[in-house]
């Protein structure tokens, strides 16, 4: 894609230029970005797509019967209402719920990536609005790093954001001679970062390492989880067994006297207990390579020789986020830290432990120093919360207790779900169970630009403008550039920005002066920018005025140096730069975690077999990976995403031996089944995946064969019809959507058409869209 003319804007997958071209949108890459993402190709086909929500809509059954639990969600017709009626309906319902049940009865966790932009960020908008009306039940942590977010503060005394990608790519390129990459270093995920990337640099940084001939061992069931190169080797492993391999590597280092006792004694705490466990003194099981071979499928000899090579090299132990998105997901990052500690290279340039490389586009790049312009969200006086992936549990079990990070809490009784900027029918596990859960509340409100399955399961659907249809400030922590996001075109139909909707609703509820404060979008952008500018100026950073910035189009931001080494200061001087753990050191055994008494997350890294491994009925392990052709479920109808589909369905990667055994040939439609549910997909055969494993990306829009049946197969290939809705452990309660046991067979019946991107019954056909290009301010 070449850089060209048009108004500039930015997305989670990069900056770009766009202009209206007849009924379509012409999109070109931005001149700042030397490596633009192919995901930009999804933008033009999605513009004016029939899947767009064009008017405020209310579910017919909700209008007729009023608020209440309903299994008709997801199958009912919608009725068009005008904006004044919509505002009145929303205001009345919010007031009713608050008066009758209190603010904790509103679930406003509203998880999701939404869209780029510091002001229009949908979650910031909905949280600010709900705070102005007295608060809401919130969610904590993310679907990305649910387990790491909780375990890493116990082990390293740092928040996951302060751990992921802290060692710079440039340091790795200069000093690292070996990377043991658990989960690989997949470039597909390097295209995206929340808030946007003006310059994609991670893939080039990785290629430099590969060109240097760095020895990279890709420990993954999928070979393509790292680009090829002369030093790149694939070590196929059984999914979900990396911890067993890490422990066995540590066993070889310890028994071969290749471990760094000085580092373990002076920088860590609890090594004694961990060593006793690894050597088999506590449970009678030696965690040696022969033991690990039986679990991981990696030959004992290979584990021995890898450990020896690690000790002879400057070795970086890297773990992708995907590994912790599974049962006992706390263990892989913790065990990797323990392995790197045994090696004694933590804190050395290019050695030690890394997390998230290949999980996102800004990992390993310098972080912006200081704050970014931010929409204030006010205070939420409601204490109730859930770990983010416990949504179905909360809706199905009001009042039930749950464990989280050493505490016991209770699920609130949710009467109203308010979602803005996320797609739980994409991101949550076990969609059949989620549908049952979504039948429970009195009212479900969803702000969405598109008729996603989440919008279809709402009672009240509020049409949202996209980032092409509003102006904003584009910035993120991993991208040292603040970019002017200029409105490319007017919204279609009767569509408004979320800000306009909330402003009007706040006025109707008499809190407008607190929410919008009477300001327009333009006034807010100026205000957020100038507030941030004056704060930066007191930190000694001079920035242009808002008008100067807007007419220049972007401003470079000060950022951390490009030679960061994780835990360098602590390792150099542990007395004066202690970690914020109880011991001040790396906690290889945590007395705190141990004191919680969780058998699913004991006090040191441990191999805990999954409760739901392969069975005779479901002998294959499915990897539910992040898609290469879109961001999550976003713009699934766009050209890049559609180019990957097989007969309009999500592709399933399968080893030829597994396919032959089932009579499956390339391009055929298959039925995938698990204990939870089933979906169709299109078979793609390749020996790049380990036999016994299959891979299906997340993000194909949910499209049940029979919308009346919550357990109906998805004809399009939504992987979360198959996955289990169970927390990583009682510690973090993170999502475990990465792995599920399945069977695959040829679909013998007549292959149904995919309807995922059609509007639901009652939604009007698209209005004739003669979109205007507004004046830029
Ligand atoms: P998106 O598809 O990005 O998925 O889950 P997330 O919910 O973030 O959804 C964002 C939605 O916001 C889209 O529907 C988009 O149209 C809408 N949107 C965009 N802009 C706006 C706006 O301005 N206003 C409003 N109101 N809406 C807007 C992602 C989540 O999925 C994540 S982060 C991860 S890491 C998880 N990964 C996995 C996994 O590995 N395996 C499984 N099985 N499941 C996963 N789910 C998780």
In whole angstroms, give the CA distance from residue 252 to residue 265.
Answer: 19
pLDDT digits (tens, 9 = 90+) for 216-272: 999 999 999 999 999 999 999 999 999 999 999 999 999 999 999 999 999 999 999
112 in ligand 1 pocket by Cβ < 6 Å?
A: yes
pLDDT of residue 4 exceeding 90: no
Integer angstrom CA distances of residue 213 from 179, 233, 234: 11, 11, 15
State which H helix or E strand residue 123 sits in. helix 122-132
DSSP 679-693: EEEEEEE-TTB-TTE
Burial class (CB in 10 A: 0-12, 13-18, 19+), 464: buried
Burial class (CB in 10 A: 0-12, 13-18, 19+), 575: exposed
**Which of ligand 1's atoms lies nearest the C-alpha of 634?**
2
In whole angstroms, give the CA distance from residue 700 to residue 645.
Answer: 10
State which H helix or E strand residue 216 sits in. strand 215-219
Task: Output the CA torsion 337→338→343→346 (10° steps).
Answer: 30
427 in ligand 1 pocket by Cβ < 6 Å?
A: yes
Tell me how far the alpha carbon of residue 70 is from its chain's centroid. 30
Tell me how far the alpha carbon of residue 511 is from its chain's centroid. 33
109 in ligand 1 pocket by Cβ < 6 Å?
A: no
Where are the strands (E) in 494-649, listed by range? 554-556, 586-587, 620-623
The residues facing 357 across adjacent strands are: 360
pLDDT digits (tens, 9 = 90+) for 284-305: 999 999 999 999 999 999 999 9
| Ligand 1 midpoint to CA 97 (Å) | 27
Q: How confident is the model at residue 1 (pLDDT cuts 50, 70, 90)?
A: low
Can 111 be counted among the known catalytic residues?
A: yes
Q: Which of 13, 62, 113, 419 is catalytic?
A: 113
pLDDT at 5: 80
pLDDT at 555: 97
pLDDT digits (tens, 9 = 90+) for 379-435: 999 999 999 999 999 999 999 999 999 999 999 999 999 999 999 999 999 999 999
In whole angstroms, give the CA distance from residue 487 to residue 471.
Answer: 5
pLDDT of residue 2 exceeding 80: no
In whole angstroms, give the CA distance from residue 47 to residue 376.
Answer: 31
pLDDT of residue 766 exceeding 70: no
pLDDT digits (tens, 9 = 90+) for 191-212: 999 999 999 999 999 999 999 9
Both tokens of 718, joined, read 């939504």
pLDDT at 645: 98
In whole angstroms, give the CA distance from residue 483 to residue 12.
Answer: 13
Burial class (CB in 10 A: 0-12, 13-18, 19+), 228: exposed
Helices marked H in 363-428: 391-396, 424-427
| Ligand 1 midpoint to CA 113 (Å) | 5
| Ligand 1 midpoint to CA 579 (Å) | 34
Angle at CA of residue 387, ends 718 and 738, nearest 5°: 35
- Lowest mean pLDDT across 123-137, 176-190, 499-513, 763-777: 763-777
State the first-to-last Cα distance of the chain, in angstroms, to the nearest integer. 28
Average pLDDT for 30-36: 96
> Which residue's CA is the nearest one to ligand 1's atom 5?
427
Both tokens of 458, joined, read 């709402």
> Considering the chain, what is the average pLDDT of its residues?
96
122 in ligand 1 pocket by Cβ < 6 Å?
A: yes
Sign of CA dihedral 731, 733, 735, 740: positive
pLDDT at 399: 98
pLDDT digits (tens, 9 = 90+) for 139-167: 999 999 999 999 999 999 998 888 888 99
Give the position of tokens 């996209």.
466
| Ligand 1 midpoint to CA 143 (Å) | 10
141 in ligand 1 pocket by Cβ < 6 Å?
A: no
Whole-model pTM over 0.95: yes
**Which of ligand 1's atoms lies nearest the C-alpha of 447?**
26
**Which of ligand 1's atoms lies nearest the C-alpha of 322?**
40
pLDDT at 311: 98
Ligand 1 pocket: which of 427, 450, 500 to mutate (most atoms within 8 A of CB):
427
Burial class (CB in 10 A: 0-12, 13-18, 19+), 749: exposed
Ligand 1 pocket: which of 449, 468, 652, 734 to mutate (most atoms within 8 A of CB):
449
pLDDT of residue 716 exceeding 80: yes
- Nearest in space to 165 (alpha carbons), one of 315, 318, 13, 35: 318
Can 113 be counted among the known catalytic residues?
A: yes
Burial class (CB in 10 A: 0-12, 13-18, 19+), 471: buried
Average pLDDT for 467-493: 95
Q: How confident is the model at residue 769 (pLDDT cuts 50, 70, 90)?
A: low
209 in ligand 1 pocket by Cβ < 6 Å?
A: no
The residues facing 460 across adjacent strands are: 58, 445
Ligand 1 pocket: which of 115, 139, 189, 723 to mutate (most atoms within 8 A of CB):
115
């Amino acid at each position: 894609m070449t850089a060209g003319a048009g108004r500039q804007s930015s997305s989670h997958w990069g900056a770009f230029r766009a202009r209206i071209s007849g009924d379509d949108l012409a999109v070109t890459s931005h001149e700042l970005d030397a490596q633009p993402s192919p995901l930009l190709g999804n933008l033009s086909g999605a513009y004016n797509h029939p899947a767009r929500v064009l008017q405020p809509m209310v579910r017919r059954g909700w209008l007729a019967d009023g608020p209440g639990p309903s299994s008709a969600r997801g199958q009912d017709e919608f009725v068009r209402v005008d904006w004044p009626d919509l505002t009145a309906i929303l205001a009345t319902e919010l007031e009713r719920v608050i008066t009758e049940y209190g603010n904790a009865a509103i679930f406003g966790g509203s998880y999701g990536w939404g869209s780029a932009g510091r002001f229009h960020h949908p979650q910031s908008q909905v949280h600010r609005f709900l705070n102005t009306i007295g608060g809401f039940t919130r969610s904590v942590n993310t679907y990305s790093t649910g387990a790491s977010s909780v375990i890493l503060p116990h082990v390293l005394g740092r928040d996951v954001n302060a751990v992921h990608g802290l060692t710079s790519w440039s340091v790795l390129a200069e000093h690292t001679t070996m990377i043991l990459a658990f989960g690989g270093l997949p470039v597909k995920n390097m295209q995206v970062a929340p808030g946007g990337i003006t310059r994609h640099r991670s893939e080039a940084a990785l290629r430099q390492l590969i060109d240097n001939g760095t020895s990279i061992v890709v420990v993954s069931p999928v070979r393509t989880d790292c680009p090829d190169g002369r030093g790149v080797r694939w070590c196929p492993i059984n999914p979900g067994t990396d911890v067993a391999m890490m422990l066995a590597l540590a066993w070889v280092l310890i028994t071969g006297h290749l471990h760094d006792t000085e580092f373990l004694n002076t920088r860590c705490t609890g090594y004694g207990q961990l060593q006793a466990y690894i050597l088999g003194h506590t449970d009678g099981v030696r965690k040696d390579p022969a033991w690990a071979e039986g679990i991981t499928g990696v030959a004992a000899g290979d584990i021995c020789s890898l450990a020896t090579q690690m000790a002879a090299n400057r070795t970086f132990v890297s773990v992708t986020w995907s590994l912790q998105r599974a049962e006992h997901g706390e263990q892989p990052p913790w065990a990797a830290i323990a392995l790197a500690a045994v090696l004694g290279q933590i804190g050395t340039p290019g050695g030690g432990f890394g997390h998230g490389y290949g999980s996102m586009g800004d990992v390993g790049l310098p972080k912006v120093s200081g704050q970014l312009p931010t929409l204030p969200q006010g205070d939420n006086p409601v204490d109730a919360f859930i770990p983010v992936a416990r949504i179905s549990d909360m809706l199905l079990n009001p009042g039930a207790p749950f464990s989280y990070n050493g505490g016991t809490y209770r699920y609130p009784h949710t009467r109203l779900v308010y979602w803005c900027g996320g797609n739980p029918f994409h991101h949550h596990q076990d969609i059949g169970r989620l549908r049952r859960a979504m039948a429970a509340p009195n009212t479900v409100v969803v702000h969405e630009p598109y008729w996603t399955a989440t919008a279809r399961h709402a009672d009240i659907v509020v049409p949202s403008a996209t980032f092409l249809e509003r102006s904003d400030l584009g910035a993120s922590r991993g991208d040292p550039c603040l970019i002017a996001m200029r409105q490319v075109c007017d919204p279609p139909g009767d569509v408004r920005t979320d800000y306009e909707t909330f402003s009007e609703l706040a006025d109707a509820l008499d809190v407008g002066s607190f929410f919008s404060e009477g300001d327009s979008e333009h006034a807010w952008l100026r205000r957020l920018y100038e507030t941030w500018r004056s704060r930066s100026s007191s930190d000694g950073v001079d920035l242009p005025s808002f008008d100067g910035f807007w007419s220049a189009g972007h401003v470079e931001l000060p950022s951390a140096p490009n030679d960061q080494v994780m835990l360098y200061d602590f390792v150099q001087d542990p007395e004066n730069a202690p970690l914020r753990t109880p011991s001040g050191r790396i906690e290889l055994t945590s007395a705190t975690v141990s004191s919680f008494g969780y058998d699913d997350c004991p006090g040191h890294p441990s191999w805990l077999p999954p409760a739901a491994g392969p069975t005779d009925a479901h002998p294959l392990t499915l990897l539910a990976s992040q898609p290469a052709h879109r961001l999550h479920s976003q713009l699934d109808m766009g050209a890049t995403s559609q180019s990957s589909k097989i007969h309009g369905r999500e592709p399933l990667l399968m080893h030829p031996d597994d396919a032959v055994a089932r009579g499956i040939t390339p391009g055929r439609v298959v039925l995938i089944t698990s204990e939870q549910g089933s979906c169709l997909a299109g078979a793609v055969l390749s020996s790049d995946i380990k036999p016994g494993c299959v891979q299906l990306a997340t993000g194909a829009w949910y499209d049940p064969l029979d919308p009346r049946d919550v357990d109906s197969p998805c004809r399009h290939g939504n992987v979360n019809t198959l996955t289990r809705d169970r927390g990583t452990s009682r510690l973090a309660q993170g999502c475990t959507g990465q792995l599920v046991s399945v069977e695959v067979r040829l679909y013998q019946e007549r292959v149904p058409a995919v309807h995922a991107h059609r509007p639901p019954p009652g939604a009007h056909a698209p209005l004739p869209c003669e979109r205007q290009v507004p004046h830029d301010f």
